[in-house]
């Protein structure tokens, strides 16, 4: 027995040493040649546009902070991470980064000091970025961004999870090299679809949120060759990253290209959803700044994605609910709660008001298998972001103060089974779980707030 234990310990030590050597072995990356002589102002402007497409602001600008100075807390399964300063400040930012340093961080996940970056930085997606676009981004961050002296904040990750060398193992095992995933336009016969694929898979890094992840935290697919690509991701700040595939109920199957473009430009569309939460921020900082051709390209690509195999919900328009409510026939507590709290805006026919109050009948968020976003919306409310084409910040109040867990569940079960909606029922336990995550100062408004015009 003693010999067996010694053999087991020896094997464990050998495995550990092998992993450590694997992790610490330097990663060689191709040198990226500088940009050829070109109009520097045009190159910087191109980089600015690409930084908008990549939504760099979202993570690298703290609330109330200066652009790209970092410090934004990012929740992760291992603790809180803080984004880094990516301004060209030479003391605390990336001012001393060479083009090669910049490329290794952006596309390979390797910082200038050789440390592997946490995959909160979506370098597996950015690996698809072309050399020319990397050069433009570098020109922008070095010459188009104001330097800010702001020391990077230490991550709040407990030891031993705070050790960096295991990240190198993750990077080498799960993050494909840029050479392996270099974008191939020839794969897409249609030039518009090809451009949309490049933006969605690469700088847009849509899969980072909208694709499910394995237990080892890598995305299960990085492009449409995997059936789970963009089929819906994790819950982020209480909002579900929805299915972007062609499912007719909880995906984009019933959306037109124009619906997608309008939503990405203004966070609202005439016939479908309005956006809040994390995706509202994406529209504000990223997609509203894209030109029409690129928005049309993104929409064209997304509409090529077939429905995922798992289709739990369905929708077939049915006037029965609208007729019953109009006649005052409220057959359930959920129906009563809807008439008392929701019908003034969303109407008894569930159609809402175009570009103001989203329709509920056939709404893909309403029909999502996981009702977490709807629960959060009812409890805490939400506010539409102000965009250049739709500056009004309309909002929905929260009803946490007014409804019990059981009542919220009854209301949402009614909504998810009326006007032709067919989605799983909601239970009080699900509501209680979400309510417990809301901070005391959450947007669940008070009676005084409700009374304000």
Could you tell me if 246 and 252 are in contact, meaning their C-beta atoms sit under 8 angstroms apart?
yes
Instruction: Specify the pLDDT at position 18.
Output: 53
Give CA–CA dist 197/188, Å, rounded: 8
Smallest Cα–Cα separation from 373: which of 225, 233, 228, 226?
A: 233
Smallest Cα–Cα separation from 195: which of 286, 250, 130?
A: 130
Give CA–CA dist 91/260, Å, rounded: 42
Give CA–CA dist 218/193, Å, rounded: 26
As averages over each run of 10 residues, the pLDDT of the chain (453 residues) reads: 60 52 59 79 96 95 93 88 96 96 95 91 94 96 97 90 84 85 87 97 95 92 94 85 93 93 88 74 93 98 94 93 89 93 93 85 92 94 84 86 95 97 96 88 38 28
Instruction: Specify the pLDDT at position 446.
Output: 31
Residue 287, SS3 per DSSP: helix
Q: What is the CA radius of gyration of the chain?
A: 24
Phi, then psi, of 64 in degrees rounded to 5? 80, 0
Instruction: Specify the pLDDT at position 235.
Output: 80
Distances from the Cα of 96 to the Cαs of 48, 109, 282, in angstroms? 20, 18, 29
Could you tell me if 164 and 117 are in contact, meaning their C-beta atoms sit under 8 angstroms apart?
no
Instruction: Specify the pLDDT at position 438.
Output: 86
Instruction: Specify the pLDDT at position 233.
Output: 87
Residue 275 CB neighbour total at 10 angstroms: 25
Residue 383, strand partner residues: 395
pTM score, whole prediction:
0.89
Instruction: Specify the pLDDT at position 320.
Output: 94
The pairing of strands 235-236 and 239-240 is antiparallel
Could you tell me if 236 and 280 are in contact, meaning their C-beta atoms sit under 8 angstroms apart?
no
Residues 401-412 as b/e (b if ≥16 CB within 10 A, e otherwise) read ebbebebbbbbb
Angle among Cα 208, 242, 374 to the nearest 5 degrees reads: 130
Q: What is the DSSP letter of 295?
A: H
């Amino acid at each position: 027995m003693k010999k067996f234990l010694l053999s087991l310990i020896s094997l464990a030590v050998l495995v550990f040493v092998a992993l450590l050597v694997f992790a610490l072995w330097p990663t060689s990356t191709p040198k990226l040649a500088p940009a050829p002589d070109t109009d520097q102002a045009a190159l910087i402007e191109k980089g600015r546009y690409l930084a908008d497409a990549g939504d760099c602001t979202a993570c690298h600008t703290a609330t109330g902070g200066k652009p790209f100075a970092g410090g934004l807390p990012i929740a992760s399964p291992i603790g809180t991470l803080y984004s880094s300063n990516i301004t060209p400040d030479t003391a605390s930012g990336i001012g001393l980064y060479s083009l090669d340093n910049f490329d290794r961080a952006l596309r390979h996940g390797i910082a200038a000091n050789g440390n592997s970056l946490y995959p909160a930085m979506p370098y597996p997606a950015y690996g698809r970025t072309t050399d020319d676009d990397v050069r433009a981004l570098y020109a922008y961050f070095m010459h188009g961004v104001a330097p800010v002296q702001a020391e990077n904040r230490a991550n709040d990750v407990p030891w031993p999870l705070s050790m960096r060398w295991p990240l190198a193992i993750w990077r080498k095992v799960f993050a494909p090299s840029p050479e392996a995933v270099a974008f191939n336009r020839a794969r897409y016969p249609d030039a518009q679809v090809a451009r949309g694929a490049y933006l969605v898979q690469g700088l847009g890094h849509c899969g980072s949120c909208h694709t499910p992840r394995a237990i080892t935290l890598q995305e299960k697919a990085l492009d449409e060759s995997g059936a789970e690509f963009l089929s819906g991701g994790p819950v982020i700040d209480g909002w579900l990253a929805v299915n972007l595939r062609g499912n007719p109920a909880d995906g984009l199957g019933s959306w037109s290209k124009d619906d997608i473009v309008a939503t990405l430009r203004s966070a609202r569309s005439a016939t479908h959803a309005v956006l809040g939460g994390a995706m509202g921020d994406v529209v504000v900082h990223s997609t509203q700044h894209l030109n029409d051709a690129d928005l049309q390209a993104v929409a064209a690509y997304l509409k090529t994605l077939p429905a995922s195999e798992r289709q739990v919900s369905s929708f077939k328009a049915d006037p029965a609910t609208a007729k019953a409510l109009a006649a005052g026939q409220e057959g359930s507590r959920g129906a009563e709660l809807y008439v008392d709290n929701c019908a003034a805006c969303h109407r008894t026919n569930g159609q809402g008001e175009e570009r103001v109050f989203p329709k509920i009948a056939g709404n893909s968020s309403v029909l999502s298998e996981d009702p977490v976003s709807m629960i959060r919306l009812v409890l805490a409310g939400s506010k539409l972001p102000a965009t250049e084409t739709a500056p009004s910040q309309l909002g929905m109040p929260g009803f946490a103060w007014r409804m019990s867990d059981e009542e919220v569940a009854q209301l949402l079960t009614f909504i998810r089974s009326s006007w032709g909606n067919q989605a799983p029922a909601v239970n009080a336990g699900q509501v209680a779980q979400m309510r417990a995550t809301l901070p005391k100062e959450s947007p669940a408004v008070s009676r005084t707030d409700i009374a304000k015009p």
